[in-house]
Amino acid sequence: MSEFSVEELVPHSGKMSLLDEVVAYGDEWLEAAVNIHADAMFADEKGIPAWVGLEYLAQAVGAYAGLQERKNGSQPKLGFLLGSRKYESSHAYFLHGEVLSIRVEKEIQADNGLSSFNCTLHSERVRAEARLNVFQPEDADKFLQEAGQ
């Protein structure tokens, strides 16, 4: 278990903070958990659609980045999911009562804030995976202002 809570690592709040726990981490990876339940964001009577798994993976990458910032004495910064490659899930839904284990592993990190992560998500019943490309600018507010012009 991490010495930091999800809230201390990921700059999401309320129901949009989808991870339940950071389970373990290393220099190049992080593991997290998500409990699927009826009150969760995106839940319906069947469970949670598997496409939401992409956001679980992205938030785990965000937790990894936030952890790196915290270890360096800084605050977590806003990052952006640029895209994914080959997101595939073995099932269409994550079922109520399932606990999803998520693992993200840094593949490449450039000096300009671009990174790529290999990601997996699984329970006893389901498995999903993807490669995520992300961007974390040094100053997100400035980046967003410049992008809006």
Indicate the domain borders of the chain: 6-147
Is the pLDDT reported for residue 145 higher than 90? no
In the prediction, which pLDDT does 15 show? 77
Is the pLDDT reported for residue 106 higher than 90? yes
In the prediction, which pLDDT does 2 show? 65
In the prediction, which pLDDT does 14 show? 73
In the prediction, which pLDDT does 68 show? 94
Average pLDDT of span 97-112: 96
Of 33, 106, 101, the residue nearest 64 (C-alpha): 106
12-25 pLDDT tens trace: 777 788 999 999 99
111-124 pLDDT tens trace: 999 999 999 999 99
We find that the CATH architecture of domain 6-147 is Roll (3.10)
Cα dist. 60→44, 45, 46, 66, 147 in Å?
A: 23, 25, 24, 10, 25
Say how far apart CA 31 and CA 104 lie, in whole Å.
7
The single-letter DSSP state of residue 95 is P
Query: What band does 1 get if pLDDT is binned at 50, 70 and 90?
Result: low
Is the pLDDT reported for residue 42 higher than 90? yes
65-88 pLDDT tens trace: 999 999 999 999 889 999 999 999
